[in-house]
Structure 1
Amino acid sequence: MKQVDTAEAGQGGAGRRGTGAGTWRERIRRATRAASRPGLWKRGRVLAALALLLGLFMLLHAQIPNRIGNLGSLVETFLPWFGLLIPVLLIGALWRRSASAVAALLLPVVVWLNLFGGLLGDKSHPGGGLTVAQHNVGAGNPDPAGTATDLATAGADVLALVELTEQARGTYESELAEAYAYHTVQGTVGLWSKLPLSDTQPVDIKMDAGPLADTKPVDIKMTYTRALRATVTTDQGPLAVYVAHLGSARVNLKAGFWTAHRDRNAQALGQAIAAEQNERVVLLGDLNGTMDDRAFASITAQLSSAQDAAGNGFGFTWPAEFPVVRIDQILVRGVKAESSWVLPATGSDHRPVAARITP
């Protein structure tokens, strides 16, 4: 009797196990049939095509010509934001239940992550013996004294200011005098330092006036000396520091993305840095463009971005109320960037940037 019961129990257990295995096999078969249904792959072909085009667009951005309205540079300026189209297309693909569209989205996802995924994490390191900062203080800044106080309390060892006006220059000099023993101003750019400065001189970046040249309110006088070079004495030796404010970039219905002055400035600045004898160089400035823009190739071929190397996120700086691009840069050569960050907004339409470096 016990033997019969045992056998029956064993058969029942086997039956239950068999039923479970059969259930899983059936589920797999159903999933396979569902995935192989023609409708899942035929639906959403337009979405799939758009996903592939988006991926190729970002992958081949350097091939977009600048001949018509500087379209290539315009795309590269806002290139990270094209990633926002990925979730939009994904929602459409899920709504249409299109397997082909979901699969096609792998291309733009991989391309975007390859281009910008490295910026998403915090790459800062402890250490760094020198803090440098840069700020476009804004020609129309209503509170230069408050901006100067904010910058002084930020604690940078070397501070570069651009878009200084004749009216506001004295305010910055007096407000920063206690924190910085050394400073130089050349035209509309200035450098304040806690360490000795030497060999200060303007840098000719060939800013020429024209019908679309920078325009400021008539009561704000600006000169066209917009770059300087100085040597900062550090414990590790001399450090060449460049401060620059390149020409503006504007969207114009007739000219498109107009960057003629800026691009000429960038070429001239690149030539000046190429001629620099000091191997240790820092460039602080409002370059009016992102480092993805091909117009800065002569600069990025020599210097690397502190934000890319040691920042946390994209580090957007303009406009101050809701930054969408990083046009304020800290670039280095021969020194190591340990961390890079964006400072809180001041009365300017730009946000300040700072970095700790090991000279």
Structure 2
Amino acid sequence: MRWWPARGARGRVLAVTAVLTAALLLLHRWVPNSGWGLGSLLETFLPWLGLVPVLLLMSALLRRSPAVLPVLLLPAAAWAYQYGGPLLPSAADGHDLLVVQHNVSDENTDPAGTARALMDAGADLIALEELVPPALEVYERTLAAGYPHHAVRGTVGLWSRHPLEGVRPVDIRPPGITGPWDRGLRAVARTPRGKVAVHVAHLPSVRLGPGGLAAARRDESARLLGRALDAEPYERVILLGDLNSTVDDRGLAPLTSRLGAARRGVAFSFPAALPVVRIDQIMARSATVGRIRTLAATGSDHLPVAAGIRLE
């Protein structure tokens, strides 16, 4: 008894899989998101669909199905169209500001070491999330030498080499969350190139369970943050934060429709032990975010990310 498809059938299975993969890469917005959140789930891990044509190629070669090889170019080309640009080498980015974004983790056992590692990056701005006492005092004390200006609201903070003004919290608390929950702040940095509004945010986490991807609170928080960005009087805006999503995820559309993300670099930042997604983001308006990269691991379950920003 034959337990696997005949050669011709195997070729057809490979071809259909290749076409479906290409379609998902190019038409992922058509995948419905209601109920199970399948659209957001797919978009969170969309870059990993690049492994499918590799596996299909290996299968075609092992099973001697050469006729299907041209079809495998479809998902490969679709992936290259979506993600080839960020992987291309580029000349050194000229930038006006170097920024670092890091969720330091409320369970970090070495806040002093984390702070020193972030200082070594030489950034102009450092945004931190999950700041809790007594670690907060350690960050403030350690970063003070290089960053004389800082602001903290709730569990998010911003450290700057340049003076800060207009500091205030940003209410991004979605309905249903009670108790203390301050995870957004806004400040204006007085840089040598002029004033820039800097927002730091930590959007709610998502959960994957039997009912699919639970992201309603994160999505609502993103909408609230989008409204705050619309109300921002300064044209130049930088957003730094743990947004608990990738820039492909439609859940961040209220932000990605208003701000530009990095044009180069992949920089998977989570989980630190084996990064598979970048949920730590650097975005900007009236400014260009250069190549984004990860920094060395700290005591957090996230990796820090850094990028140069050229102001317009």
TM-score by length of structure 1 reads 0.81
Alignment of 1:335-354 (within 5 A): 335-354=287-306
Change (3 A) 1:42 1:351: closer
TM-fit CA distance, 1:99: 3.5
Q: 3-state SS of the aligned residue for 1:179?
A: coil
Letter in 2 for 1:356: G
Structure 1 match to 2:3: none
Q: Distance in 2 between matches of 1:343 and 1:223?
A: 31
Q: 3-state SS of the aligned residue for 2:136?
A: helix
Greater CA drift, 225-234 or 147-156:
147-156
Q: Distance in 1 between matches of 2:10 and 2:38?
A: 33
Structure 2 match to 1:249: 206
Change (3 A) 1:138 1:208: farther
Structure 2 match to 1:263: 219
Structure 1 match to 2:276: 324
Q: 2:37 aligns with which of 70, 81, 84?
A: 70
Change (3 A) 1:320 1:43: closer
Q: 2:118 aligns with which of 148, 151, 164?
A: 151
Greater CA drift, 348-357 or 69-78:
348-357
Change (3 A) 1:352 1:223: farther
Letter in 2 for 1:65: P
Q: Distance in 2 between matches of 1:341 and 1:42?
A: 44
TM-fit CA distance, 1:45: 1.6
Change (3 A) 1:273 1:123: farther
Structure 1 match to 2:194: 237
TM-fit CA distance, 1:68: 3.0
Structure 2 match to 1:177: 144
Q: Distance in 2 between matches of 1:128 and 1:43?
A: 52
Q: Distance in 2 between matches of 1:126 and 1:109?
A: 28
Structure 2 match to 1:289: 245
Determine if contact 1:51/1:101 at 8 Å carries over to the other structure.
no
TM-fit CA distance, 1:235: 1.7
Determine if contact 1:124/1:338 at 8 Å carries over to the other structure.
no
Change (3 A) 1:94 1:184: same
Letter in 1 for 2:238: V
Determine if contact 1:40/1:100 at 8 Å carries over to the other structure.
no
Determine if contact 1:73/1:293 at 8 Å carries over to the other structure.
yes
Deviations 1:169-200 (A, max 9, x none): 11111111111111110000001111000000
Alignment of 1:55 with 2:12, yes or no, is no
Structure 2 residue runs without a partner (length 5+): 1-5
Q: Distance in 2 between matches of 1:345 and 1:85?
A: 29
TM-fit CA distance, 1:125: 3.0
Deviations 1:233-283 (A, max 9, x none): 012211000000000011122x31111111111010111111112111100
Root-mean-square deviation (CA, aligned residues, Å) is: 1.9
Which entry has the higher C-alpha Rg, 1 or 2? 1
Q: Distance in 2 between matches of 1:152 and 1:128?
A: 18
Letter in 2 for 1:90: L
Structure 2 match to 1:105: 72
Q: Distance in 2 between matches of 1:242 and 1:340?
A: 18
Determine if contact 2:260/2:285 at 8 Å carries over to the other structure.
yes
Letter in 2 for 1:291: V
Letter in 2 for 1:229: R
Deviations 1:200-221 (A, max 9, x none): 00001123455xx9xxxxxxxx
Letter in 1 for 2:170: V
Q: Distance in 1 between matches of 2:91 and 2:141?
A: 33
TM-fit CA distance, 1:40: 8.8
- Looking at secondary structure, tell me which structure has more helix per residue: 1
TM-score by length of structure 2 reads 0.93
Deviations 1:51-83 (A, max 9, x none): 122222222211110113101000000001011
Q: 3-state SS of the aligned residue for 1:161?
A: strand
TM-fit CA distance, 1:166: 2.5
TM-fit CA distance, 1:331: 0.2
Q: 3-state SS of the aligned residue for 2:74?
A: helix
Greater CA drift, 281-290 or 119-128:
119-128
